[in-house]
């Protein structure tokens, strides 16, 4: 039997280019669609926390690098196509791309209610929102609501008792029947009023509150002080037994001084990191 020999002929540059041109082009892989997150808008009674149906929202994306929402003019932010109307449970949901800042603008209010004190609610959708989603709470107040309750917050230095200016608080009302304060999720407690900062006398007032139990959440402190380990205080009961007026005093500790080393041997003094050994 005679062995067969296969000869391989070299292909010149011109032929190789022609063969490459004749080969079918490979399609580029399709780009992965952007991640999206489920956003739940929650409309509630500002005083009782009762879910409200019929609240209509527009969604806007921050697009002009200016603070707050601009919904008109040539330099307006970008309106998202979704419109959201709350159901009997006071909620509605939309899917939005992550990695952006958005605004929920309430364009129609539930029957018998006023527009919210803050015309829009802003929220950021980070990468984690694609897994967990996010809930945005927007309260409305009845047109005929008239509540006389009030809580005065007094902020003091924990050592000297001196009043502290510029401490920022939120006030939340217990509405879900679960022990403690829940500030996130569809069944969260109710943020009763916009934030309040203490004045030169170290006080701030939350007025027009309905009867119920309230929590204070400390959000910011003056320079030189530290937030308490647990920033939530309460709950306190506001009702006829208390005369519907409460005064709450909260104390803050000063920040610990960080030691410095050096300076006596001609070298420049330096600050030691917390936990670092002194040399």
Mean pLDDT of 47-60: 92
Task: Return the top range by mean pLDDT from 7-16, 121-130, 132-141, 161-170.
Answer: 161-170
90 CB contacts (<8 Å, ≥6 apart)?
Answer: 42, 43, 44, 50, 51, 52, 53, 55
Q: Note the pLDDT of residue 275.
A: 38
pLDDT band at 272 (very low <50, low <70, confident <90, very high): very low
Mean pLDDT of 94-118: 91
> pLDDT digits over 248-267, tens only?
999 988 887 655 555 444 44
Please say if the pLDDT value at position 97 is more than 60. yes
**Least reliable range by pLDDT among 62-66, 80-84, 102-106, 195-199:** 80-84
Q: How far is CA 198 from CA 46, 168, 259, in A?
A: 23, 7, 31
pTM of the entire predicted model: 0.59
Mean pLDDT computed over every residue of the chain: 82
Please say if the pLDDT value at position 86 is more than 70. yes
CA distance linking residue 56 with residue 66, whole number of Å:
25
> pLDDT digits over 9-24, tens only?
455 545 544 445 555 5
CA distance linking residue 151 with residue 205, whole number of Å:
6
Reduced to 3 states, what is the DSSP secondary structure of residue 115? coil
CA distance linking residue 134 with residue 144, whole number of Å:
32
Q: Note the pLDDT of residue 200.
A: 95
Domains and CATH numbers, the chain: 36-140 (2.60.40.10), 149-252 (2.60.40.10)
């Amino acid at each position: 039997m005679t062995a067969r020999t296969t000869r391989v002929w070299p292909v010149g540059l011109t032929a190789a280019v022609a063969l490459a041109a004749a080969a079918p082009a490979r399609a580029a892989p399709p780009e992965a669609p952007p991640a999206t997150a489920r956003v739940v808008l929650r409309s509630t009674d500002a005083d009782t926390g009762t879910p409200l149906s019929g609240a209509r929202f527009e969604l806007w994306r921050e697009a002009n690098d200016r603070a707050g929402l601009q919904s008109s003019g040539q330099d307006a932010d970008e309106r998202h196509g979704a419109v959201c109307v709350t159901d009997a449970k006071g909620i509605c949901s939309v899917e939005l791309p992550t990695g952006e800042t958005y605004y929920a603008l309430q364009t129609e209010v539930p029957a018998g209610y006023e527009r919210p004190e803050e015309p829009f609610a802003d929220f950021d959708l980070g990468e984690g929102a694609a897994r967990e989603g996010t809930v945005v709470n927007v309260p409305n107040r009845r047109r005929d609501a008239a509540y006389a309750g009030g809580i005065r917050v007094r902020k003091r230095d924990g050592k000297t008792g001196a009043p502290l200016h510029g401490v920022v608080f939120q006030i939340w009302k217990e509405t879900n029947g679960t022990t403690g304060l829940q500030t996130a999720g569809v069944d969260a407690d109710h943020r009763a009023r916009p934030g309040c900062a203490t004045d030169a006398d170290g006080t701030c007032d939350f007025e027009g509150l309905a009867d119920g139990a309230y929590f204070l959440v400390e959000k910011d402190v003056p320079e030189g002080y530290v937030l308490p380990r647990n920033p939530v205080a309460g709950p306190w009961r506001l009702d006829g037994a208390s005369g519907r007026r409460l005064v709450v005093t909260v104390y803050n500790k000063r920040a610990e001084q960080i030691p410095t080393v050096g300076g006596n041997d001609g070298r420049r003094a330096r600050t030691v990191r917390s936990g670092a050994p002194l040399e």
